[in-house]
Amino acid sequence: MTTDAKELAQLTREHGRKLASGDVLPAIGFGTYALPDGTDAVKAVAQAVLCGYRSFDCAAFYGNESLVGRGLRLGASKAELKREDFFVTSKVWPTQLGYQKTMDAFFKSLNDLDVDYMDLYLIHWPANARSHENWNELNLSTWKAMVQLYEEGYVRSIGVSNFKEHHLRSLLDTRVPPMVNQLEVHPGFSQQSLRQFCRMMGIVVEGWSPFGRARILQHELLQQLAQKYQRAPTQICLRFALQLGVVPLPKATNMNHMRDNLQIFDFELESSDMELLLSLDRDQIGFSGEDSDLLTFS
């Protein structure tokens, strides 16, 4: 492993966010959704390790956790790293909500990733009123399993993903409230009010789709800022997230792109440029259209 990779790995930890559990969530994670199939996925994850990534965002729904686990072991072997050097996240899918289904889903992910504990486990999407009359009770019974897994040491931190304020309210009243909320966050869809609510509640926000599914990258403002700072538009997006206090989760399969996505600690966006980027929210540029109150899962 190169010195550069070691330094970048250290920077992601130094700039990481401390969770209510006391653990530190590295400042940038590696997204594993829609990785290539088979050995290409294993190679991509191992390359990410060698580039300096230490946080890996996984989910049962992605269907590749066994491949990601193999990639982590391969990368760890080449870089001479141990399990505790990594921060591994997984998520329970909405069709598996409820106490027992969540317990079963967790141990399947643990087995597929071939790790003896999880660093972070999330509810991937909340149960909502469109799909369930008892949506709040279903979320609470799921959370009961999450809290038990946390208190028994199987997972070091617990949280949610795509939860709005009304989904969070009852979970905040439990003895172990959510520590993380993973949300779609990028220029054009920054979710300011929900992020502010999470901050007030002591919940760290992770940001999925930090490039707005690549739609935001060609926007005139992103191009102008990329030229101004002599950076790639992707780096502007990631720096934007970082300065919002959000942990971005970029995905890349090209090693140069992997490296570029970590090279965001040596510059800063001016406050006026941050305001310009936030103003893109008016048009919801790059928004996926996925609304946690409207989605149904079968």
Select which of 62, 117, 121, 150 is catalytic: 62
Paired tokens of 219: 């926007």
Contact call for residues 240 and 267 (beta carbons, < 8 A): no
Concatenated DSSP letters for 14-71?
A: HT-EE-TTS-EE-SS-EE-TTPPSHHHHHHHHHHHHHHT--EEE--GGGS-HHHHHHH
CB 197 within 8 A of CB 177: no
Contact indicator for 91, 59 with CB cutoff of 8 Å: yes
Does the annotation mark 229 as catalytic?
A: no
Give the list of residues 6+ apart from residue 130 with CB closer than 8 angstroms, or none.
293, 294, 295, 296
Residue 255 identity: M
**Residue 124, marked binder:** yes
Task: Report the C-alpha gap between 62 and 103 in whole angstroms.
Answer: 18
Task: Identify the three-state secondary structure at position 208.
Answer: strand
Count CB neighbours of 126 within 10 A: 27
Judge contact between 85 and 76, C-beta under 8 A.
yes
Largest Cα–Cα distance in the chain? 54
- Binding-site residues from annotation for substrate: 124
Active centre residues (catalytic): 62
